Amino acid sequence: MEVTLSVNGEPVTRDVEARLLLVHFLRDELGLTGTHWGCDTSNCGSCVVLYDDEPVKSCTVLTAMAGGHDVRTVEDLEQDEVLDPVQQGFMECHGLQCGFCTPGMLMSARALLDRDPDPSEDVIREAISGQICRCTGYASIVRSVRWAAVHPEGRSEA
């Protein structure tokens, strides 16, 4: 079936199987492999993308359902070679080790800061609670998001 949706601000139309999950569409059809896929049970959150501006697990949405909607992936965070403050924050505060969970974490962090520019640690922990990180123990992720909150313009000394 033919599906048209917006991905990172660009309309895309593809002929897909109705059963195709959005995560596989992004990775395999569009080559946007920044969005990761880590489980079959909707638990890990490495597939989180923004769907009409809110975090959603792209492994639990059919591409067909996303027709007519706006999807934003981690590839869209960097603009004109400037990292998004959340990306910069993960760099400054060691918010990642292996990086597998990072795209989902970044997208949830971006959505959180768009709604609440100054979230407390507890609010950050709640916002990323649907996402598993097996490396960092989360503390550095929380610090990274706080860094982004304190530096809404991103890196200034460049």
Partner 1 sequence: MQVPAPIEYERATSVEHAIGLLTRLGDEARLIAGGHSLLPMMKLRLANPEYLIDINDLHGQLSYIDIGATRVRIGAMTRHRELLESVALAEVCPIFRDAERVIADPPVRNRGTLGGALCQADPSEDLSSVCTTLDASCVIRGRDGERVVSMDDFHRGPYETAVRHDEMLIEVRIPMRPHGSSAYAKVDRRAGDWAVAAAGAALWLDEHGTIADARVGLAAVGPNTTGIPAISEALRGRAPGEDAWTEAAAIAEAACRPVTDSRGSADYKRHLAGELTRRTLRTAWERVVAWR
What are the residues binding ligand FES (CB under 6 A)?
A: 37-39, 42-47, 57, 59, 96-102, 133-136
Q: Is 26:32 a contact under the CB 8 Å cutoff? A: yes
State the Cα–Cα distance between residues 97 and 79, nearest whole angstrom. Answer: 23
Written as six digits, the tokens of 48 are 């989180």
Using rule CB under 6 A, residue 129 touches ligand FAD = no
Where are the strands (E) in the chain, listed by range? 2-7, 10-15, 48-51, 54-57, 70-72
Closer to ligand FAD by Cβ: residue 7 or 47 = 47
Using rule CB under 6 A, residue 42 touches ligand FAD = yes
Can you tell me whether residue 117 is helix, strand or coil?
coil
Residue type, 9: G
Among 12, 65, 82, 135, binds partner 1 (CB under 8 A): 65
User: How far apart are CB 76 and partner 1 at their closest, in Å?
Assistant: 18
Among 5, 7, 26, 56, binds partner 1 (CB under 8 A): 56
User: How far apart are CB 157 and ligand FES at their closest, in Å?
Assistant: 26
